[in-house]
A and B are shown apart, each in its own frame.
Chain A
Amino acid sequence: MGLIEAIILSVLAASTPLLLAATGELVTERSGVLNLGVEGMMIVGAACGFGGAWLSGSIIVGALCGMVAGILMSLIFALMALGLAVNQVATGLALTILGIGLSGLIGAGFVGERITPAPHLHIPGLSDIPLAGRILFGEDGFVYLSIALVVGVWWFLYRTRAGLILRACGDNHVSAHALGYPVLRIRLYAVMFGGACAGLAGAYLPLAYTPFFIPGMTAGRGWIALALTVFASWRPARLVVGAYLFGAVTILQLHAQGAGIGIPSQFMSSLPYLATIIVLVLLSRARTGGSTAPAALGTVFVPDR
C-alpha cells in the first residue's frame, strides 16, 4: 500500500464523522434553526450506538441505536426551540451539557468492553484495483454512506419541491407561513434529521473508528461539524470539500511530525483552525452582496393567528 493511498484512506475515515454530523446540521440550519448541541447529540449517539452494538452483536443495530438516540436528543431541542420559542443558542449549549452527562451515565455500564469494528468492504475485483480500488471500494460502509447522504441532501434541497419549501422556511419563515406551509413542522423534521445524523456520526466513532466507548470520546468533533457548516456556506458540495480538507490537514500534520519536520506541533495543530478562518474570509470577500446564510437562521418563529 503506497503512502499516498494510505493517507487518503486515513483522511476518509477521519472526515466521515465530521461529514455525517455536518450534513445533518446543514439541513437543520437550512430550515432556519441553529442547533449548537451537535456535540451533545453525538456523544449520546456514541454511547447508545456502542451499547446497542455490544448488546446485540450487530453494527447495524448499533448504528440505528445511535440514530434513535440522536433523534431523541434533538426532540428535546425541538420542544424547547420550536415548541416554546426559546433562544436557540442557549438551548443548544444546554443540550451539549446534558448530553455529556447522559452519555457518561449510559456508558458507565460498558466501559472497558470492546466489539468487532465495522468491516471494511471487499468487492472482489473492484477493491483490488491499484490505488483507486481500496479508496473507492475498500473502506467501511459508513464512509460511503456519508457521501451518499450528502448527495441525497443536495438532490433533496435543490431538486425537490420539499427541499425548496425547507429552504424557504429558512430564508423567510413569515412568507413561508403566509403561503400556508407548516413552518414549525418542517423545522421539526429538519431538526430530527440533524439529530439522526449527529447520532450516527457519534456512533461511527465506537463502531468503526476505535471500537470501544470512553466518556468524552467525541473530543470536540461536534463543534468542528458546526464550523464546517458555516465554512461550507450551507452548500452540500462545499461541505464535502471542507470536511475532507479539515480531515486532510489533521492527518497531514501528524505525517509531517512523523517525517521529522521540526515545526512546533502546537503550530501544526492550529493550522486547520487558521485555515478555516482564512478560507472563510476569502470566500466571504469573493462574494458580493452579503452573506449566503439562511436569512432566518437562529430566529424564533411563532405563527400568527
Chain B
Amino acid sequence: MKRTLFAAAAILLAGCINSGAWAADKLKVGFIYLGPVGDLGWTYQHELARQALVKELGDKIETTFLENVPEGPDAERAIEQLVRAGNKLIFTTSFGYMDPTLKVAKKYPNVHFEHCSGYKRDKNMSTYSARWYQGRYIQGLIAAKMSKAGVLGYIGSFPIPEVVSGINATMLGAQTINPNIKVKIIWVNSWFDPGKEADAAKALLDQGADMIMQHTDSPAAMQVSSERGKLAFGQDSEMIKFGPKAQLTSILDTWAPYYIERVKAELAGTWKSEDTWGGLESKMFEMAPYTNMPDDVKKMAEDTQAAIASGKLHPFKCPVVTQDGKDVECKGGDHLEDTQILGMNFYVKGIDDKLPGK
C-alpha cells in the first residue's frame, strides 16, 4: 500500500516536471484581470481575446492570467509575479494598473508591458485603448431616431473622461437628429453591481426615459429594459441574449486582433513601445449587429459608422460648445485634439445636469 502510494506520487511529480520542461521554449504571455473571468463584461472580453490568441498562436506561446486583482497595493506584486514566472509580454487590463505597471516596467527593462486605457508609457511599456466615443456617437443617432419621449437614460459608472466623453458623443450624435433631446444621468459609482444597475435602469425608465444606455459592465440594465418592453444599448459585450427584443446595438470590446498583432511582433522581435488608440477604422472595437430598428435607421447607423471609420466624420468636430455656452478651443484642426478627449471634463450644451466633482 505504502509503495503504491509512493509510486503514484513519483509519477505525478514526474508528470509535473515534464510539463514544465515541455513549455520552456514557448513565449510566455501574461494577463492581469480586474474582475473574475466570468463577469460577462470587461474582463470577459479580455479573456475571450486571450482565448482567441491561444487559438491563433497556441503552438508558439503559453498564456497565464491572474484574475480578480484589485487596483491597489496588490497589483504591483501580481504583475511582478508574472514577470518572475517567465512571462515576457504582459497585458495589464485596467486603468488602475497604470502606476504599478510602470514601476515593474522600470525594474525589468527586458520584459514588455501593455497597459490598457492609461496614459503613462516607457521604453518597454505601451498603452492601448479604443475610441469608444465613436460608437457612442452612432448610438446617440439611433437613440434620437428611436426615442418617442425624446428622453434618454444613461447609467454611468464613474465620471472619468472615458465615460464623460461617451455621454458627450452620445448627445452630439443625438442632437443632429433632435436638437431638443434630453438625457438623464445616474452614476452608480461601480463598474459592476448588477442589482444597482438594474435599480438605476428602473429609476430612469420610471422618470420618463424610454431608452437605456450604459457605461457599466453587467447585462442587468439590458434585462430590465427588455422586461419593460423598452429599448437599450449594450456595453463591452454582446448582450442580445438578455434583451432579444431590446438591444439596438452594443459596443463590443474586440481586443483579439490587437493582442495577436502585438504577440506576433514580440515573436518576430519587432515589438516597440507604442501608444495605440484605435477606433472603428482599425477594429479596436466593433458595433454589434443593428437590431430591433427600422431599415432606414439601420442604414443611417451603418452609413455613419462607415463615415467615422473612413475619417470623414469626427464625433467631436468643431465647434463643440460646453453646457454653459462656451466654445471649446479647437486644437485639432476641425475637431478636438485627442488630449482634449482623453481629459474631457465638461458636459456639452444640452445636458441639463452637473458633472460630479466640478
Give chain A's interface residues, CB within 8 Å of chain B: 1, 3, 6-7, 10, 14, 104, 107-108, 111-112, 114, 117, 205, 209-212, 214-217, 219, 221, 250-251, 254-255, 257-260, 262, 264-266, 269
16 contacts between A and B (CB under 8 A): A107-B38, A112-B40, A210-B219, A210-B223, A212-B223, A214-B194, A216-B192, A219-B190, A219-B194, A219-B196, A251-B202, A254-B188, A257-B185, A257-B187, A258-B209, A260-B354
Min CB gap B107→A, angstroms: 32
* Complex interface: chain B residues within 8 A of A214 (CB): 36, 38-40, 192, 194, 218
* Complex interface: chain A residues within 8 A of B353 (CB): 260, 262
Task: Specify which of A3, A257, A266 is in contact with B206 (CB 8 Å cutoff).
Answer: A3
Query: B276 contacts the other chain (Cβ, under 8 Å)?
Result: no
* Complex interface: chain A residues within 8 A of B219 (CB): 210, 212
Task: Specify which of B39, B198, B206 is in contact with A6 (CB 8 Å cutoff).
Answer: B206
Query: B207 contacts the other chain (Cβ, under 8 Å)?
Result: yes
Given A212-B223, A221-B195, A260-B353: A10 touches B38 (CB 8 Å cut-off): no
* Complex interface: chain A residues within 8 A of B153 (CB): 258
Whether the pair B206, A255 counts as a contact (CB closer than 8 A) is yes
Q: How far is the CA of A251 from the CA of B192 in the complex (A)?
A: 17
Query: B269 contacts the other chain (Cβ, under 8 Å)?
Result: no
Q: How far is the CA of A257 from the CA of B192 in the complex (A)?
A: 19
Whether the pair A265, B189 counts as a contact (CB closer than 8 A) is yes
Task: Specify which of B44, B189, B207, B223 is in contact with A211 (CB 8 Å cutoff).
Answer: B223
Query: B264 contacts the other chain (Cβ, under 8 Å)?
Result: no
* Complex interface: chain A residues within 8 A of B241 (CB): 112, 114
Give chain B's interface residues, CB within 8 Å of chain A: 36, 38-40, 44, 153, 184-190, 192-200, 202-204, 206-207, 209, 218-220, 223-224, 227, 241-242, 352-354, 356-357
Min CB gap A102→B, angstroms: 14
Min CB gap A110→B, angstroms: 9
Q: How far is the CA of A161 from the CA of B40 in the complex (A)?
A: 50
* Complex interface: chain A residues within 8 A of B354 (CB): 260, 262
Whether the pair A254, B195 counts as a contact (CB closer than 8 A) is no
Given A211-B223, A214-B40: A14 touches B199 (CB 8 Å cut-off): yes
* Complex interface: chain B residues within 8 A of A6 (CB): 202, 206
Whether the pair B199, A251 counts as a contact (CB closer than 8 A) is yes
* Complex interface: chain B residues within 8 A of A215 (CB): 36, 38-39
Task: Specify which of A3, A111, A250 is in contact with B38 (CB 8 Å cutoff).
Answer: A111
Q: How far is the CA of A3 from the CA of B203 in the complex (A)?
A: 9
Given A14-B195, A215-B39, A217-B194: A260 touches B223 (CB 8 Å cut-off): no
Whether the pair A10, B242 counts as a contact (CB closer than 8 A) is no
Min CB gap B93→A, angstroms: 17
* Complex interface: chain A residues within 8 A of B202 (CB): 6, 10, 251
Q: How far is the CA of A14 from the CA of B203 in the complex (A)?
A: 12
Task: Specify which of B194, B200, B356 is in contact with A210 (CB 8 Å cutoff).
Answer: B194
Closest 9 CB pairs of A and B: A111-B38, A262-B354, A6-B206, A254-B203, A210-B220, A265-B187, A210-B194, A215-B36, A258-B184
Closest chain A residue, CB of each to CB of B221 = A210
